[in-house]
Chain A
Amino acid sequence: MAKLTTEPTIYVTYIATTPEKCWQALTDAKFSAQYFFGQKIEGDWREGGKIRYRTADGGEHIEGEILACDPPRLLRFTWRIVGMPALRHLPDCIVSYRLEAAGEGVIRLTMLEEHPEGIDQRLLGGGRSGWPAILSGLKSLLETGAVPKITPPTPPQEMLDYMKEHGA
């Protein structure tokens, strides 16, 4: 039997920028394409609005609904993986970006990935390998102005096994 988990994933990074600039980098496709594995974010930036991450060729990868939109402090939304057939059946997870002033010219960005409905614990490794790469690229982009793309890390073997069991 698959072991289900509701354990969240959290990633905290400190960035020498303002909450406004970080909010723009999180919500503007010109920026996301540079650090989010080439994906473009689009959203109807209000509570109840839609949010999407599209791959470079325009295909939908992630879609969800915005649960909280309080620029430049909090963006919280449901997250459905629609671009990968083996993961389409998963229950929604909830992703939040929280931005807080942490000192003079430095902010703390906290990414929280929650699983209100349990998922197979082998899937947690996907976010745990992906988020550090995405948010490291975001930090470099904001601090240095330009970054070479980071290629997506290979998911952990147990996640690939899960995907194979589900038709990948």
Chain B
Amino acid sequence: MSNAFVYVTYIYATPQKVWDAITKPEFAHKYWMHYNVSDWKKGSRWEHQNGDHSGKVMIDGTVLESDPPRRLVTTWTRPDKSKEPSRVTYDIAEYNPGLVCLTVTHDQLEHDPGMAESVSGGWPKVLSNLKSFVETGKAENIWLIKNKG
């Protein structure tokens, strides 16, 4: 089995709405409890900042590809640089008019098994919550959702 985590979700929205939910800090804050901060240009830095307004950088990295509103690829790095970065790809495809198929692939995790485990539990929560937020305007407080039963 390859060392990649892949999650697919279908969202009743336009690609632009899904792109905005990922890249606009105030939107990401609603369902992810973090701000995603960058100008989202190829080569730019991005930061995943704690949503408590401390501005603390929880994850950072570099924008590798940016094709709004269809595709975004970034590195995913621990701020202390204790491990090799991994990589996240967001593919935002219009499946039917008004329906997006969002595929998130988190790979290059070979050097960081702890991160692999953490993101495999985290992405289903984050992306379920993103879908709810985009479709209904409401999202759960992600910190209150339990990982295990």
Contact = CB atoms under 8 A, between A and B. Distances in A.
A7 interface: yes
Contact of A103 (B131, B135, B145): B145
Contacts of B101: 133, 153
Interface residues of B, number: 27
B128 A15 contact: yes
A102 interface: yes
Contact of A136 (B1, B11, B144, B146): B11
Contacts of B149: 100-102, 108
Interface residues of A, number: 29
B10 A137 contact: yes
Interface string A95-119: 0000011111110100000000000
Contacts of A147: 12
Interface in B88-144: 95-96, 98-99, 101, 124-125, 128-129, 131-132, 135-136, 138, 140-141, 144
A143 B11 CA distance: 12
Given A14-B140, A102-B145, A144-B135, 11 more contacts: A13-B9, A13-B124, A14-B125, A14-B128, A16-B140, A100-B149, A102-B149, A106-B140, A108-B146, A144-B12, A148-B96
17 contacts: A14-B128, A16-B132, A102-B149, A106-B140, A108-B146, A129-B8, A132-B8, A132-B10, A140-B131, A143-B135, A144-B12, A144-B135, A144-B136, A147-B12, A148-B12, A148-B96, A150-B99
